[in-house]
Amino acid sequence: MNIIPGKTLKSFRKELWFNVPTRRAFINITPEVEKCLRESSIKEGFVLVNAMHITASVFINDDESGLHHDYDVWLEKLAPHAPAAQYRHNVGEDNADAHMKRQIMGREAVVAVTKGKLDFGSWEQIFYGEFDGRRKKRVLVKIIGE
Amino acid sequence: MNIIPGKTLKSFRKELWFNVPTRRAFINITPEVEKCLRESSIKEGFVLVNAMHITASVFINDDESGLHHDYDVWLEKLAPHAPAAQYRHNVGEDNADAHMKRQIMGREAVVAVTKGKLDFGSWEQIFYGEFDGRRKKRVLVKIIGE
Amino acid sequence: MNIIPGKTLKSFRKELWFNVPTRRAFINITPEVEKCLRESSIKEGFVLVNAMHITASVFINDDESGLHHDYDVWLEKLAPHAPAAQYRHNVGEDNADAHMKRQIMGREAVVAVTKGKLDFGSWEQIFYGEFDGRRKKRVLVKIIGE
């Protein structure tokens, strides 16, 4: 049961699951979030979309493959993966850089809902940013409003 | 009609428009957001303020010109504008760096509304951060509450 | 009175106070936020947790001391404290770098409330990030829902 029809507020909750085959990727999840919004039948309110993992991001930017390549190169410059031993966190794992990349790109997006739609500018799209993939991970979509 | 008086929740929506004559600028939009809050007559809830463009930010920090200069220098160091050709996104445009600067400074701020006021610490002010100006762009103010 | 039982929406507000003896520190505030949520008796909604100061962060990541050390080293590399004179903001103060570190780590976290709990993935924990301590500072917890 995703929709909880409260006395004063309607709320909706759904998890989106991913299993990215590579270490890093950017995936446009706007259609999935729009689907959640339609299912919720909420017309006015807020959508929260957040990574439930601490080595992944949810962010809003452009759906342009050149830019995604640039982001990947840039994040690797600001928070390099190798050498893994430069990070104290990397004892038995090698994902310290992913925890940093996620801070730059952010954990969550909050989006206004107006007349039943994501209230977006022309180029806004919601992305799942994976920085330590090759396993199942998830994103939470929570909508409150009426 | 900005205010939608729902059965269970009041909501308010307004766009703020900008046409910054330079490529980059920081503009204090706190008075405009406070004006929206007064118009909404919402006393308890949340305000979402977000850039509707993906080369601009909304963030909360200090209204101090020295700091804004420092931010500008720092962002240019972390994500340099030139040479434009270093970015794959820059095919027919030159704003890849603006997409990066925006990620560091953030897309949105969510602010608590308490007793009809922005619930702020002493020095918190809301800024529009422009990283690719010289054209009309906008910010969304969405308030939900009662 | 922290809880405001509105006609259409319940809201809760509380400040958490800190006086970090060092310049920088990361403090896990998840138990305090959970306590606020229990006090609010809100079952479905959103929690906003934000620094009320502009040289501090609230962010969500891992409670792992090696990672916190790595964050500290990394933030110091991206936004060095010294030399203080490199920043125009540092006239009579020396905390320009703290304003930058806070932008990377973020001002706020918005967390979903589901069935009366913080709707978290396995490793998500909420931190107060202090970048200019040795004085009293505070965090706002605001919850709306029902």
Chain A closest-CA separation from residue B44 CA (Å): 14
Summarize pLDDT for B73-83 with one digit per residue, the tens.
Answer: 999 999 999 99
> What angle in degrees, to the nearest 10, is found between the helix axes of C96-105 and B96-105?
100
Of B88, B91, B103, the CB nearest to A104: B103
Would the CB atoms of B70 and C48 count as touching at under 8 Å? no
For residue A6, the model assigns a pLDDT of 79
Chain C closest-CA separation from residue A26 CA (Å): 20
For residue C65, the model assigns a pLDDT of 98
Residue B134's SS3 state is: coil
List the single best residue of B62, B117, B127 to mutate versus C (max C Cβ within 10 A). Answer: B62
Of A45, A60, A65, the CB nearest to B54: A60
Residues of B within 8 A of A110 (CB-CB) are 48, 50, 108, 110
Q: Which residues of A108-121 are buried (b: 16+ CB within 10 A; e: fewer)?
A: bbbbbbbeeebbbb
Residue B46 has pLDDT above 70, yes or no: yes
Would the CB atoms of A71 and B142 count as touching at under 8 Å? no
- The DSSP call for residue C130 is E
**Exposed, middle or buried: residue B135 (CB in 10 Å: 0-12, 13-18, 19+)?**
exposed
Q: How many Å apart are CA B91 and CA B71, to the nearest integer?
A: 27
Q: What percent of chain C has pLDDT over 70?
A: 99
For the entire predicted model, the pTM comes to 0.97
How many A×C Cβ pairs under 8 Å?
A: 101
Residues of B within 8 A of C140 (CB-CB) are 112, 119, 121
pLDDT tier for residue C6 given thresholds of 50, 70 and 90: confident
pLDDT, mean of residues B57-70: 98
Continuous segment of H or E residues that includes residue A140: strand A136-145
Summarize pLDDT for C40-68 with one digit per residue, the tens.
Answer: 999 999 999 999 999 999 999 999 999 99
Q: Which parts of chain A sit beneath pLDDT 50?
A: none
Q: How many Å apart are CA A35 and CA B65, to the nearest integer?
A: 44
Residues of A within 8 A of B104 (CB-CB) are 104
pLDDT, mean of residues B97-119: 98
Summarize pLDDT for A69-81 with one digit per residue, the tens.
Answer: 999 999 999 999 9
What mean pLDDT, rounded, does chain C reach?
Answer: 97
List the single best residue of A111, A120, A122 to mutate versus B (max B Cβ within 10 A). Answer: A111
Summarize pLDDT for C82-109 with one digit per residue, the tens.
Answer: 999 999 999 999 999 999 999 999 999 9
